[in-house]
Amino acid sequence: MPVIDKSTYSPPMLCSNPHIQTIMPSLLRRVGGVTFERERIDTPDGDFLDLDWSRMGASRLAIVLHGMEGDSTRHYVLGMVKALNRGGWDAVALNFRGCSGECNLKPRFYHSGDTEDLQTTVSHITAGNSYSELALIGFSLGGNVILKYLGEKGENVAPLIKKAVTFSVPCDLTACERTITLSGRGIYLKRFLRLLHKKIQTKMKAMPGSIDDSGYSRIKTLKEFDDRYTAPLHGFKDALDYYEKSSCGPFLSHISIPTLLVSSADDPFLAESAYPFQQARTSPNFFLEVTDFGGHVGFISFNGLGEYWSEFRAVRFLND
């Protein structure tokens, strides 16, 4: 039943193209007015996570997760944090391992199915016992982590977590990897591989002998990268094993709190199987909203607040 048939999103004039929606905000959007206070917490395996807090003295807190090779300074994270603060929420942005500006301590880094670091963050926050309500918000890879986490937890999710909102989630990682490899999407693929290469090079300097980039130029797809690095570093047989076990799709039916997934029908990263209509129709808690336009983590809006539609939508869902 919770398929939202009529989305309120309408793109501004000249902004309906999905590639404009995907690329323009990264290049041109600037979000001011957010001041972070960083906290470093330890992980059970002897590494660390950096949390960036924006506190307004609210009684409710939203945990925000960025996308692949993002961090807390990306426009979509800052825009969401600013909207949350305006809507009566404190916010904390979780930087995945190696994404906070400092190399993490282990050869491993982060991946689409890594829910353990989110659990570490939730446990740290709930131990402080200073909030009456928690919410989770995630973009792309971060959204996949949240949806998988909520499905894994099912009825055992922390009682303080009341709602979640995710955007542009690759619910079927195998199919979405093939989609981003298609002709015409090379600009995105090359960017991801370039950023990931920098991460490997950083680890090579910090941990000599534990990892290397010999022949990296021969890697042309995310699957090839994941076969060589992500899978072995994180305990998977190969990339396909990683995709199968990390995709959030099979976990959606077990979500026990009101959870919204918003994706655009023209998202250049998403395959058809990444739009889980059937799961939404049969779930009392999982809501799916598919906009006609919006690209990947786009949803551009022009208004006096400088707020994107996705930010307005998330806060409205949390506050309803």
* Integer Cα distance of 63 and 146 in angstroms: 10
Residue 218 in any domain: the answer is no
Domain extent at residue 300: 3-171+250-319
First and final C-alpha spacing in the chain = 18
Active site residue 267: yes
> Is 46:106 a contact under the CB 8 Å cutoff?
yes
Could you tell me the sign of the dihedral formed by the alpha carbons of 312, 315, 319, 320, in that order?
A: positive
**pLDDT score at 47:** 98
Residue 186 in any domain: the answer is no
The two beta strands, 286-291 and 60-65, are unpaired
Query: Strands, E, within 210-304: which ranges?
Result: 259-264, 286-291
Angle formed by the axes of helices 116-128 and 141-153, to 10°? 70
- Global pTM reads 0.97
Q: Is residue 184 over pLDDT 90?
A: no
Considering the candidates 140, 168, 263, 301, report the single residue annotated as catalytic: 140
Least confident of 5-14, 51-60, 61-70, 221-230: 5-14
Residue 163 in any domain: the answer is yes
Q: Is residue 223 over pLDDT 90?
A: yes
Residue 34 in any domain: the answer is yes
Residue 101 in any domain: the answer is yes
What's the mean pLDDT in 276-295? 96
**pLDDT score at 1:** 52
Domain count along the chain:
1
* Integer Cα distance of 157 and 15 in angstroms: 39
What mean pLDDT value characterizes the chain?
96
Active site residue 292: no
What's the mean pLDDT in 2-31? 94
Residue 192 in any domain: the answer is no
Considering the candidates 50, 52, 227, 267, report the single residue annotated as catalytic: 267
Q: Is residue 129 over pLDDT 90?
A: no
**pLDDT score at 42:** 98
pLDDT in tens, 48-79: 999 999 999 999 999 999 999 999 999 999 99
Q: Which one-letter DSSP state was computed for residue 183? A: T
Residue 51 in any domain: the answer is yes
- pLDDT level of residue 182 (50, 70, 90 thresholds): confident
Residue 20 in any domain: the answer is yes
**pLDDT score at 167:** 98
Q: CATH number, domain at 300?
A: 3.40.50.1820
Pull the structure tokens for residue 225: 């990268």
Which residues have a Cβ under 8 Å from the Cβ of 97 and sit 6 or more positions away?
A: 47, 49, 104, 106, 108, 109, 110, 117
Considering the candidates 50, 111, 296, 301, report the single residue annotated as catalytic: 296
What's the mean pLDDT in 249-269? 97
